[in-house]
Amino acid sequence: MERIIKMELIINLISVFFLILIPFTVESQSLTVEKPNILWIVSEDNSPFFGCYGDEFATTPTFDKLATEGVLYENAFANAPVCAPARSTIITGMYPPSMGTQNMRSKYPTPEFIMFFPQYLREAGYYTSNNSKEDYNMIKPDGVWDESSKNAHYKNRKEGQPFFAIFNLGVSHESSIHKSIPNEELRHDPLKVILPPYHPDTPEMRHDWTQYYDKIEDLDTQVAAILQELEDSGFADNTIVAYYGDHGGVIARSKRFVYESGTRVPMIWRFPEKYSHLAPGKPNTRTDRLVSFVDLAPTILSLVGIDIPKYMQGKAFLGNQQAAVPKYVHLFRGRMDERIDMVRAVRDQQYRYIKNYMPHRIYGQYIEYLWRAPSCKSWEDAYLAGECNEAQSVFWEQKPSEELYDVTVDPWEVNNLANDPKYHDVMIRMRTENKRWMLEIHDTGLMPEGELSTRNMDQLSFDFVHSTNYPVEKILHAATISTMRDKAKLDQIIEFMNDGNATVRYWGATGCLILGTDAGSATNNLIELLNDENPDVRITAAEALCNLGMSDVATPVLIAALKEENVMVRVHAFNSLETLGGTVAMEAIPMAKQVIENRTGRDYDIRAAQRLVELYD
């Protein structure tokens, strides 16, 4: 009998235990199963020209209201100042220079181990929709989206299925100022727009700035409609809303350039009460945390409870996998359409450091698409007419090797502090950080794109540059010395030209090109490089020799490069020919015409060829 009583007591205790446990189990399951919906609103080509960011000229009631309902990020950055490389960063959580996807619309294969972040969301049960721009600068793998089209919408998901939805708005895109609206139709007053100190006060400049503010107002209206639709659908209480611009823009010296005007973007996150525990702060607050696009993919995974893959280079700034506050963000510029350039930048809370690896090229290289804006042409005309002051003239002149700006007192970045002794320690710190980052990611931008494109087409780029076959430290050292524009380094530069590594030889030739006539004692070394196995080395050496008065032996090398099968080699040659101009450019016109006649589409070599013919035929 005693034994039976003990058994009944044990059974009762177990029953009570399960009665106590069940509510916690149900609650735990509820928290696990019910995941937040996430709505991303992305606008194209716009800096933080909103009232909530302190812009009194802007008309942005929707964004201003959204800022009172959410958390505004003061220091959000696109890692690249142009769409395709920026979106490559977002979709992978990787720095494009580590993958070879930093140059505009290169569309190389995606390394096999990398998944686009919506694929992880789909595996976790999310319905993923993208309406509708992709532009990932790399070949998209299968199964990224449930739907990616102009009709993609979260309403198309299964009943009860959580969603991740993107709506991309193009009303503020650069193309919105290509065709001028009549002055009488503008809603903002051209006489009241405040021009940056680097822009001349031309009628076209005032008009384009004003028209752009009208487009920002139109963007505000479109965002209001999306938010209202979310409210009407009944999902607002279950949906985290994030808004950001895909990079800065759009007037010349913003989009495509690694300044505040090209990389700093508006970003606002709104969390419903249900998910307020995930928010970085209370509604109507701001954060000065540094965030950049490489952090977006891991942040989304962190918010929904998906383990962040170890290969992702970004760091989550929200959710249970949130990383420590970073000290720096890293920024980059590669080839922009038909113009080759290489720039790296580092931004902390106060300073922006810029390293120009092609200082022999002017900032304002002609890009056909950029020149469609009346303001850009008017700026160039004003410069050529001698009507620009010093700050306005810089854009049309060769770049310094390094730049440093205190953005807290110089937000338009016109006062370069790189050579100011008072900022020596800041320069050393920022320069060191840039080097550390480039070495860490094995920066592929150090390779000329002719070679990079060949390796990417063979799907070998990532494995190659992350192996001992790519001596990145040696190459970066050569690139750093060669781009200092210091003739005292010429002996070292000549050593680089004799190196067994083609990329090191390329930087040695580039160093001579940068030095111009100060590289005279390297003439024989440059002549030897005219027969180099690497076409980018040959082209660079030929351009350097033309500057040294040796165009008779160098010009045939440049013209021969226009026959190369590799498109990016031809683009390189056209860049050199246009820069040299004169007789050298005129001799290349027959071959340029053949390039135009023999190819179809809008390849960048065709654009460069057309420009050369336009200027010198």
Does residue 333 lie within any of the structural domains? no
| Residue 119 confidence (pLDDT) | 98
Does residue 451 lie within any of the structural domains? yes
Length of the chain counted residue by residue = 617
Does residue 359 lie within any of the structural domains? yes
| Residue 158 confidence (pLDDT) | 97
CATH number at residue 450: 1.25.10
| Residue 603 confidence (pLDDT) | 87
At 347, the amino acid letter reads R
Which helix (H) or strand (E) segment is 403 a member of?
strand 402-406
Burial of 270 (0-12, 13-18, 19+ CB in 10 A): buried
> In Å, how far from its chain's centre is CA 404?
19
Task: Give the phi and the psi of residue 7 in degrees, each rounded to 5.
Answer: -65, -45
Distance CA 540, CA 361 (A): 13
| Residue 7 confidence (pLDDT) | 43
Same domain, 86 and 132: yes
Catalytic residue among 52, 83, 388, 546: 83
> In Å, how far from its chain's centre is CA 109?
18
The position carrying tokens 């802007």 is 58
Same domain, 23 and 121: no
Which helix (H) or strand (E) segment is 509 a member of?
helix 502-515
Cβ atoms 254, 47 nearer than 8 A: yes
Which are the contacts of 290, defined by CB distance < 8 A and separation ≥ 6?
A: 75, 77, 325, 326, 327, 328, 329, 347, 348, 349
Same domain, 368 and 505: no
Does residue 553 lie within any of the structural domains? yes
| Residue 6 confidence (pLDDT) | 43
Cβ atoms 253, 413 nearer than 8 A: no
The interaxial angle of helices 567-580 and 551-561, nearest 10 deg, is 140
Domain encompassing residue 183? 34-328
Domain count, the chain: 4
Does residue 346 lie within any of the structural domains? no
At 485, the amino acid letter reads R
The DSSP bridge pattern shows strands 163-169 and 127-131 to be parallel
Same domain, 196 and 285: yes
Active site (annotated) includes residue 546:
no
Same domain, 96 and 47: yes
Strand order in the sheet with 329-333: 329-333, 343-347, 351-356, 402-406
Distance CA 215, CA 170 (A): 10
User: How is residue 239 written in tokens?
Assistant: 């949906």
Same domain, 93 and 240: yes
Q: How far is CA 91 from CA 40, 225, 348, 502, in A?
A: 13, 26, 24, 32
Same domain, 210 and 101: yes
What's the average pLDDT block by block, 10 residues per block, for the chain (617 residues)? Answer: 42 40 36 79 98 98 98 98 98 96 90 95 98 95 97 97 98 98 97 98 98 98 98 98 97 98 98 97 98 98 98 98 98 98 98 98 98 98 98 98 98 98 98 98 96 75 86 98 98 98 98 98 98 98 98 98 95 98 98 90 88 97
- Enumerate the β-bridge partners of residue 37: 239
Q: Of 425, 443, 474, which residue is a domain's last? A: 425
Does residue 69 lie within any of the structural domains? yes
| Residue 600 confidence (pLDDT) | 65
CATH number at residue 192: 3.40.720.10
| Residue 106 confidence (pLDDT) | 87
| Residue 602 confidence (pLDDT) | 63
Does residue 415 lie within any of the structural domains? yes
